[in-house]
Amino acid sequence: MTLWLTALLVWGAAGARVGRVLVKPATTARVAIVVAVASVALATTVAVPEIALAIDNPLPRGVHAGLLSDGIAVAAWQLFAVATSVVVAAAWPVVSRVNLRRIATYIYGGGGCAAAGDSRTRRPRRRVGA
């Protein structure tokens, strides 16, 4: 029950953050904050055991022991780290808005490559000759 309440509180905070961004003009930093908050909300939702089980069992046989829900949780935390890096770049006083967009594109691209590389290493290995 505690995990459900934590996920509910995080989703409430995420909704409040999205609402504040929708009222004001979107900047690179505000969008990065929304992405960070939404990724934490996704990670806390997938951490609820019942939801993780529902994600892992869309078919009658399901998938390999938590592979899908664990992958989603890891990807969500990686997205949080990437979005936080964009917020850090936005807080640097030397960076202009044009350069910030370029830097944010590179940071998000690097995070996407890291997430894609991580998903290849998480596949279960087959046993040969067992």
Asked if residue 124 has pLDDT above 60, the reply is no
Residue with token string 């009658």 = 60
* Cβ(87)–Cβ(29) below 8 Å: yes
Q: What does pLDDT average to over the chain?
A: 81
Q: What is the pLDDT of residues 29-59, one digit of tens each?
A: 888 988 998 898 888 888 888 888 888 777 6
Give the C-alpha distances (Å, rounded to integers) separating 11 from 4, 16, 29, 46.
Answer: 11, 9, 20, 12
Q: What is the pLDDT of residues 17-32, one digit of tens each?
A: 788 777 888 888 888 9
The reported pLDDT for the residue numbered 22 is 79
The reported pLDDT for the residue numbered 109 is 93
**Interacting residues of 7 by C-beta distance below 8 A, sequence separation 6+:** 41, 44, 45, 47, 48
The span from the CA of 59 to the CA of 100, in Å, is: 43
Q: For the whole prediction, is pTM greater than 0.85?
A: no
The pLDDT-based confidence of 103 (bands split at 50, 70, 90) is very high
The pLDDT-based confidence of 118 (bands split at 50, 70, 90) is low
